[in-house]
Chain A
Amino acid sequence: ETGVTQTPRHLVMGMTNKKSLKCEQHLGHNAMYWYKQSAKKPLELMFVYSLEERVENNSVPSRFSPECPNSSHLFLHLHTLQPEDSALYLCASSQDPRENTGELFFGEGSRLTVL
């Protein structure tokens, strides 16, 4: 099992669809993150979960809804997206943020295209 696994790797959806991105980590970490990677822009931190509690939400539109049922799984539920939401969505995990090693372990990303 690789460290952080994301599915699906590619997703095409219409603006009225509902879909979900899934992330699973096998590293024993207890913090998980969603990042958005768009061309020519810095990575944007969307959500942070620490010990299954959401600790950060960076003003992300409500059409993105995260869910963290346990420390190994993280979902991003998508609903009524816009074409500008097309991007690579990266999941990451880390040890307890309070230890602040600063090292994140990333999945390979889910490439989302909104038509």
Chain B
Amino acid sequence: AQSVTQLGSHVSVSEGALVLLRCNYSSSVPPYLFWYVQYPNQGLQLLLKYTTGATLVKGINGFEAEFKKSETSFHLTKPSAHMSDAAEYFCAVSDRHGNNRLAFGKGNQVVVIP
């Protein structure tokens, strides 16, 4: 079964600084990988996803993530944090066997400090 690990439930970053959220996955087959964002009092929204092809994936709001098979990682980055980036971020993995069963991490609550 697939799983993801996100360390550190709360992440504080200064406005304008690099945002780095780590995600490591476990999967017995080549995975599909996702980052979702949840703003306060809202549902989850897809930020970006990796399925096949280029390992550096660009998403909305200036975020990007790189799939590194050798490290079983899919870390999320943004060069310069904005106040509007304050939200909870979830990494998720699914297999390629014809289903949409996503396994989610526990999430990272990002706080942006002015």
- Which residues of A does B touch, CB under 8 Å? 4, 6, 31, 33, 40-43, 45, 48, 56, 90, 92, 94, 97-109
Contact = CB atoms under 8 A, between A and B. Distances in A.
A102 B94 contact: yes
Contacts of A92: 43-44
Interface string B80-114: 00000000001010101111111111110000000
B46 interface: yes
Nearest to B106: A42
A42 B100 contact: no
Which 3 residue pairs spanning A and B have beta carbons closest together?
A106-B43, A43-B104, A97-B100
A74 B44 CA distance: 18
Nearest to B100: A97
Contacts of A31: 100
B106 A40 contact: yes
Contacts of A101: 51, 100
Given A40-B9, A43-B90, A102 B44 contact: no
B102 A104 contact: yes
Interface of A is mostly: mixed
B45 to A, nearest CB: 7
Contacts, number: 67
A107 B44 CA distance: 8
Range for the number of chain B residues in contact with chain A: 20 to 34
A80 to B, nearest CB: 27
B43 A100 contact: no
Given A42-B106, A56-B101, A97-B100, A104 B44 contact: yes
A45 B98 contact: no
Most buried by B among A92, A94, A98, A100: A100
A51 B111 CA distance: 40
Interface in B14-70: 32, 34, 36, 41-46, 49, 51
Contacts of B45: 106
